Amino acid sequence: MSLAVGVDVGGTKIAAAVVDESGTILQRDRRPSSAQDPDAIIDTVASMVADLARAHPVEAVGLACAGFVDHVGGRIRFAPNISWRDMPVAEPVSQQVGLPVTLENDANAAAWGEFVFGPARDVSDMVFVTVGTGLGGGVVIQGRLLRGAYGIGAEIGHICVVPDGHRCGCGNRGCWEAYGSGTALVREARDLVASGSPRAQALREACAGHAEQLTGPDVSAAAANGDAASIELVADVGRWLGIGAADVAAILDPEMFVIGGGVADTGNLLLEPAVTAYRRQLTGRGHRPEAAFTLAGLGNDAGVIGAAALALASPYP
Amino acid sequence: MSLAVGVDVGGTKIAAAVVDESGTILQRDRRPSSAQDPDAIIDTVASMVADLARAHPVEAVGLACAGFVDHVGGRIRFAPNISWRDMPVAEPVSQQVGLPVTLENDANAAAWGEFVFGPARDVSDMVFVTVGTGLGGGVVIQGRLLRGAYGIGAEIGHICVVPDGHRCGCGNRGCWEAYGSGTALVREARDLVASGSPRAQALREACAGHAEQLTGPDVSAAAANGDAASIELVADVGRWLGIGAADVAAILDPEMFVIGGGVADTGNLLLEPAVTAYRRQLTGRGHRPEAAFTLAGLGNDAGVIGAAALALASPYP
Amino acid sequence: MSLAVGVDVGGTKIAAAVVDESGTILQRDRRPSSAQDPDAIIDTVASMVADLARAHPVEAVGLACAGFVDHVGGRIRFAPNISWRDMPVAEPVSQQVGLPVTLENDANAAAWGEFVFGPARDVSDMVFVTVGTGLGGGVVIQGRLLRGAYGIGAEIGHICVVPDGHRCGCGNRGCWEAYGSGTALVREARDLVASGSPRAQALREACAGHAEQLTGPDVSAAAANGDAASIELVADVGRWLGIGAADVAAILDPEMFVIGGGVADTGNLLLEPAVTAYRRQLTGRGHRPEAAFTLAGLGNDAGVIGAAALALASPYP
Amino acid sequence: MSLAVGVDVGGTKIAAAVVDESGTILQRDRRPSSAQDPDAIIDTVASMVADLARAHPVEAVGLACAGFVDHVGGRIRFAPNISWRDMPVAEPVSQQVGLPVTLENDANAAAWGEFVFGPARDVSDMVFVTVGTGLGGGVVIQGRLLRGAYGIGAEIGHICVVPDGHRCGCGNRGCWEAYGSGTALVREARDLVASGSPRAQALREACAGHAEQLTGPDVSAAAANGDAASIELVADVGRWLGIGAADVAAILDPEMFVIGGGVADTGNLLLEPAVTAYRRQLTGRGHRPEAAFTLAGLGNDAGVIGAAALALASPYP
């Protein structure tokens, strides 16, 4: 059975794994990332791959990285969290490890993992939405990854859902990400605590009164424990998730939305309001089949598994 | 050279033409549509095709129709202007004329025409936006038409650009179509005339004071003649065109936007504000190549030419 | 005692009167206006003046007219309700009647009337606000009329109070006039009736269920009769009146606002919410003396009385 | 040639100069301000004037100070940055220096400087807008300063342009100053940096990643260096500048807007979007002459030069 190494390069850590053709992980590695030193990251990645390749008959390497990716040229155009600017990545790693290396956007790689081995394994058109700090995604159309003419497609978190709305990490205002993400969840929760409202009691205790220290997992945990205000806050994120998904569906008409990322750990607290809002907002509702909403299946491994699967795919999807 | 008949089935008229492989129209026909009688339209289409096929060695027939189209099954799921509900169309026409018949959404067909023979002939990823009564479109990704899992993709006019905004013909509020279309242009122009504003003088004269009779072509004509208020109204539609296009580009990252439809006859009065707004709104601007904006090239023939081209294409794109 | 004829030229009627130096009207005349025939209006005005001048030893004539007025040149630049475009008015009337003629914007003339003979007679800085179909005004600063560099000053109804708000008669959106006027009162009242709300019962009866026939006086009368919904509607107009007045005060810091026009017949139902909103909104409140709000004193005669007073004033204020 | 001392009393420093009738500065002085000790400031001002008066045959003294000024009584009603509350200022200084002293609001004094010696020297109706930390202004109507009934006129920065908008330093929400000022520029720039957007790269470097340390001059400098995001931020301030100016023009109809203050150092990056927005927003546009927009000519000296010119003017304008 063919094996590949999948690598997920993040701003703070690098995860790598040997993955087989069935999506099973045989061995893992994880090291800190040196986001400010572009060459050091290349060396770390190559070293991790080399170590894993010594232990397994690996045929190929798949790299997943946040940012605008030129997957044909194996270059990063621009990475938000790593100091890579228009930098060749596939080639230098390949030279160090002596294996073919493919490069893909991390959300695309995760989407591909969910598409091949996760809940979307039986559909041909799907949208993966990761609701974490940001709102990212990957799109599969008729079994092929949507990349766009310049490799910057599927930046779904940056459609504008509220003109002149909250500032987004991309610099614009009103992006879907500014409403349907963990960042939005934390912003609204901190605002609620800071307002002095008695409804924020559980959240206030969770952060010992320091609103600015409140985290997304704090809110998720409070919601899971039945705190009414936190359940509403998660539901608000879910509602925006559904509203934006209706925009995406107007363009893409997918068969399935696969929802991953840290906020998705709240499960139905997020998903049910999302589906309700989606059904209320979808254009042509009543005259069309509606996409299913499903929680992602591969968790944090989606990136490495998807990257490995892409490395083994031929032709490249 | 292979020939096909392209047919564009509208709510008030049916246009048909014999088209060759280079996109040239050899002969045309045009008849009124009987929107309330589903079977009569089938018969009219078949009769038009048969007449044209007698005069030319036609190999295939392409039908284009507004609505949600199941192109694989050759069925219309739902047509907004014709009383077709989940109705087989390709097969009955094929039986009457003895030729293979393909069925496609009309905006998709027009997009394909512009993609194969129009300004997008040298690109692989493009979005066709038709700014007429509504705002419709078609999407080509890596040389293939985007249809969606259920044939309802590329309904780009129904992404929401203003929460709780103007009511759209689809029943929702705030759709892109409610801001970037001829309907929006007319709504705003009538509002301006009805307000009694002196700025509306030229528009008031164009409709002899009857605001409710003002048409989109009236406004376009006044704008072309230099009327300042009409130029502003067209520019407002253009601005929204650019804003929505930035949403579409966040998802699709196309190489080109091709702008057609009646309002596009205003040319740069529409296009320049659209490009300005697009550049101001596009996520990641400055770190990515930007799509070109171009006026469509085939005019009202895009539908019949595109439908014919699709009928001759193998495999079906 | 010096006498002058004051003339108030409107779109549907022309009012004229002989007025003495104390603001007392000695004789009146009133004739229909032929808004579409510019020269006919001149002739009618001259005829009215000549008739009055035969009965009284009149020394001068003051004309008041809606629109952009070049009072130095005695020309109308632009009149919204009469077909005068850049038209000399003072000179042709003067030639026909053999008296000196001055021309002034009608709201300015009315403001001057209230300033000299009305409740503002003891102040030096005042703003006259007429709340009728539109929201107009006149401004007196240190005893001089504010006209602006081009005669278009004091168009106070067209400051923007709500970005992208309701369409105004001037063609813009969100003007003060679109919120603090009889037009706004009627729009909101009709909307309320049309909504089917049980609160609109009295208003629904006032128009026999035909929302589109409801008038401002209907709403004012219902409010005066104690109808709770109508009182709220008048109060909403009053609230906007106060909000806009705070903007005006930020620039002009007047000693008094004089409120006239048809809607002002509702008296304190309008004025109290206006003052409340003004005090809540005024910048620097608590650290500054506040302008008084007073109902106008001259009613519909303000225009003719003010025009006559301006004609007798030397130097022209 | 008559000479006067002009003094500009600020919260952190006091600037004084001997100025002749042509507006030329002959000698300067500058000392720190002791904002918390009202009497100490009086003494410092008197000492500076006395020193300058020993070197030049000065005839009069003009004081300019931020706040609500009763120029007739020579008192400060309220000063935002100095602990003066209803405090006589002209008289105590006059007693110490043995010269006539006039007191004026600082923006009024600067406006007068620009009116007499700057770009507005040939017009009679102008509005000076200073776009610095705040948005202040001064107004000249028919050659006279607009002060209002209580000396609090021309507080143009505190008209409301966005209901319930950003909090302003005056305590209200949505003031023009909260959108068209250096404070707004910095707020939006810090927001952009804090968002983590890659578009903020140049701004992030300018403040070494500490968004809260970013200054207006940082943004202006980055814009001048061609940073796309900073240019957009300056343009946004400019756009609001034009929108508010249209409100001011609806009331005042000036011949010229003179734009000064620190943000105006960005020149056309600010002015062009301002003019574009102004022309789009002005009521009655197309039927009226439009005010010119010009950069101020006297820079930081406008206050002392204007104060000196006011001290020499008779009658006081």
Helix (H, G, I), strand (E, B) or coil at A172: coil
Contact in structure between B177 and B168 (CB atoms under 8 Å): yes
Asked if D194 and D69 sit in the same domain, the reply is no
- pTM for the whole thing? 0.86
Give the chain C residue whose CA is nearest to the CA of D317.
C142
Asked if A130 and A240 sit in the same domain, the reply is yes
- Per-residue confidence (pLDDT) for residue A97, from 0 to 100: 97
DSSP string, D49-109: HHHHHHHS-EEEEEEEESSEEETTTTEEEE-SSSS-EEEE-HHHHHHHHTS-EEEEEHHHH
Q: Enumerate the residues of chain B whose CB falls inside 8 A of the CB of residue D287.
A: 198-199
Quickly state the pLDDT bin for B234 (edges 50, 70, 90): very high
Yes or no, beta carbons of A80 and D229 under 8 Å apart:
no
Is D21's pLDDT higher than 80?
Answer: yes
DSSP string, A265-294: GGTHHHHHHHHHHHHHH-TTTTSS---EEE
- Per-residue confidence (pLDDT) for residue A153, from 0 to 100: 94
* Kind plus residue range of the DSSP H or E element containing A205: helix A201-206
The token duo for A166 is 């909250």
Q: Mean pLDDT over residues C261-278, rounded?
A: 96
- Per-residue confidence (pLDDT) for residue A195, from 0 to 100: 82
Residue for token digits 């007047």?
Answer: C254
- Per-residue confidence (pLDDT) for residue A67, from 0 to 100: 87
- Per-residue confidence (pLDDT) for residue D12, from 0 to 100: 86
Does some domain include residue D213? yes
Contacts of B192 (CB under 8 A, 6+ apart): B199, B200, B203, B229, B233, C167, C171
Tell me: cis bond preceding B315? Omega within 30 of 0 counts. yes
D48-77 residue pLDDT tens: 999 999 999 999 999 999 888 999 999 998
C202-238 residue pLDDT tens: 999 999 999 999 999 999 999 999 999 999 999 999 9
CA C25, CA C226: separation in Å to the nearest integer? 36
Give the domain extent around A269: 122-296
Q: Enumerate the residues of chain B whose CB falls inside 8 A of the CB of residue D286.
A: 199, 228-229
Pick the residue of C69, C84, C85, C141 with the most D CBs within 10 A to test the interface with D by mutation.
C141
- Per-residue confidence (pLDDT) for residue C164, from 0 to 100: 87
Does some domain include residue D190? yes
Selected residues 104-123 of chain B with any CB under 8 Å from a CB in chain A: 123
The three state secondary structure string of chain C is: CCEEEEEEECCCEEEEEEEECCCCEEEEEEEECCCCCHHHHHHHHHHHHHHHHHHCCCCEEEEEECCEEECCCCEEEECCCCCCEEEECHHHHHHHHCCCEEEEEHHHHHHHHHHHHCCCCCCCCEEEEEECCCEEEEEEECCEECCCCCCCCCCHHHCECCCCCCECCCCCECEHHHCCCHHHHHHHHHHHHHCCCHHHHHHHHHCCCCHHHCCHHHHHHHHHCCCHHHHHHHHHHHHHHHHHHHHHHHHHCCCEEEEECHHHHHCHHHHHHHHHHHHHHCCCCCCCCCCEEEECCCHHHHHHHHHHHHHHCCCCC
Is D136's pLDDT higher than 80?
Answer: yes
Is C198's pLDDT higher than 90?
Answer: no
Does some domain include residue C78? yes
Give the chain D residue whose CA is nearest to the CA of B228.
D286
Yes or no, beta carbons of A255 and B170 under 8 Å apart:
no
Closest CA to A199 of A156, A233, A149: A233
Specify the number of domains making up chain A: 2
Which amino acid would we find at residue C150?
Y
Residue for token digits 């949208």?
Answer: A127
B86-134 residue pLDDT tens: 899 999 999 999 999 999 999 999 999 999 999 999 999 999 999 999 9
Does some domain include residue D70? yes
- Per-residue confidence (pLDDT) for residue D18, from 0 to 100: 98
* Neighbour-count burial for D266-298, b at 16+ CB within 10 Å, e otherwise: beebbbebbbebbbbbbbbbebbeebebbbbbb
Q: Enumerate the residues of chain D whose CB falls inside 8 A of the CB of residue B286.
A: 199, 228-229
Asked if B144 and B219 sit in the same domain, the reply is yes
Contact in structure between B13 and B32 (CB atoms under 8 Å): yes
Contacts of C198 (CB under 8 A, 6+ apart): none
Q: Establish how many alpha carbons lie within 13 A of residue D139's alpha carbon, considering only the half-sphere containing its beta carbon.
A: 26
Q: In this predicted structure, which of C83-87, C108-112, C271-275 has the lowest mean pLDDT?
A: C83-87
Q: Enumerate the residues of chain D whose CB falls inside 8 A of the CB of residue C252.
A: 146, 148, 153, 251
% of chain C at pLDDT higher than 70: 100
Give the chain B residue whose CA is nearest to the CA of C173.
B192
ipTM of the complex: 0.94
Asked if A89 and A209 sit in the same domain, the reply is no
Give the chain D residue whose CA is nearest to the CA of B285.
D199
Asked if D170 and D78 sit in the same domain, the reply is no
CA A264, CA A280: separation in Å to the nearest integer? 21
Give the chain B residue whose CA is nearest to the CA of C164.
B165
Q: In this predicted structure, which of A284-288, C63-67, C265-269, D186-190 has the lowest mean pLDDT?
A: A284-288
Asked if A151 and A256 sit in the same domain, the reply is yes
Is C81's pLDDT higher than 80?
Answer: no
Beta partners for residue A292, in sequence order: A256
- Per-residue confidence (pLDDT) for residue D78, from 0 to 100: 82
Is D81's pLDDT higher than 90?
Answer: no
Q: Mean pLDDT over residues C284-290, rounded?
A: 87
Does some domain include residue D49? yes
Q: Mean pLDDT over residues D208-213, rounded?
A: 94
Yes or no, beta carbons of B255 and A149 under 8 Å apart:
yes
Sign of the Cα pseudo-torsion (B81, B86, B90, B95, in order): negative
Is residue A83 less than 8 Å (CB to CB) from chain D? no
- Per-residue confidence (pLDDT) for residue B123, from 0 to 100: 97
- Per-residue confidence (pLDDT) for residue D197, from 0 to 100: 85
Is B25's pLDDT higher than 80?
Answer: yes
Sign of the Cα pseudo-torsion (B44, B45, B50, B55, in order): positive
Is residue D163 less than 8 Å (CB to CB) from chain A? no
B169-227 residue pLDDT tens: 888 889 999 999 999 999 999 999 988 888 899 999 999 999 999 999 999 999 999 99
Yes or no, beta carbons of C287 and D78 under 8 Å apart:
yes
C17-52 residue pLDDT tens: 999 999 999 999 999 988 778 889 999 999 999 999
Asked if D249 and D288 sit in the same domain, the reply is yes
Q: Which of B229, B280, B287 sits opposite D198 (nearest CB)?
A: B287
The token duo for C30 is 């009133």
Quickly state the pLDDT bin for C63 (edges 50, 70, 90): very high
- Per-residue confidence (pLDDT) for residue A82, from 0 to 100: 76
**CA Rg value for chain C:** 20
Shortest Cα distance, chain D CAs vs residue B134, angstroms: 26
Quickly state the pLDDT bin for D316 (edges 50, 70, 90): confident
Shortest Cα distance, chain D CAs vs residue C67, angstroms: 10
The token duo for C82 is 């009469």
Asked if B183 and B69 sit in the same domain, the reply is no
Asked if D45 and D170 sit in the same domain, the reply is no
Yes or no, beta carbons of D288 and C163 under 8 Å apart:
no
Beta strands in chain D (DSSP E): 3-9, 13-20, 25-32, 58-65, 68-70, 75-78, 85-88, 101-105, 126-131, 135-141, 144-145, 256-260, 292-295
CA D36, CA C136: separation in Å to the nearest integer? 45
Contacts of C129 (CB under 8 A, 6+ apart): C135, C136, C137, C156, C241, C245, C257, C258, C259, C260, C261
Asked if D23 and D66 sit in the same domain, the reply is yes
**CA Rg value for chain D:** 20
Asked if A140 and A107 sit in the same domain, the reply is no
What's the CATH code of the domain at C11? 3.30.420.40
- Per-residue confidence (pLDDT) for residue B167, from 0 to 100: 85
Asked if C53 and C191 sit in the same domain, the reply is no
Is residue C253 less than 8 Å (CB to CB) from chain D? yes
pLDDT tens series, chain A, 317 aa: 899 999 999 888 999 999 999 999 999 999 998 877 888 999 999 999 999 999 999 999 999 998 889 999 999 988 777 777 889 999 999 999 999 999 999 999 999 999 999 999 999 999 999 999 999 999 999 999 999 999 899 999 999 999 989 999 888 999 999 999 999 999 999 988 988 888 899 999 999 999 999 999 999 999 999 999 999 999 999 999 999 999 999 999 999 999 999 999 999 999 999 999 999 999 988 888 999 999 999 999 999 999 999 999 988 88
Residue for token digits 């040229």?
Answer: A73
Closest CA to A285 of B78, B35, B184, B134: B78
Residue for token digits 């109060």?
Answer: C235
Beta partners for residue A140, in sequence order: A126, A145
Does some domain include residue D317? no
Does some domain include residue D176? yes
Does some domain include residue A317? no
Q: In this predicted structure, which of B183-197, D14-28, D224-238 has the lowest mean pLDDT?
A: B183-197
**In Å, how far are B146, D35, D41, D54, D307 from D17, measured between CA atoms?**
72, 20, 17, 13, 10
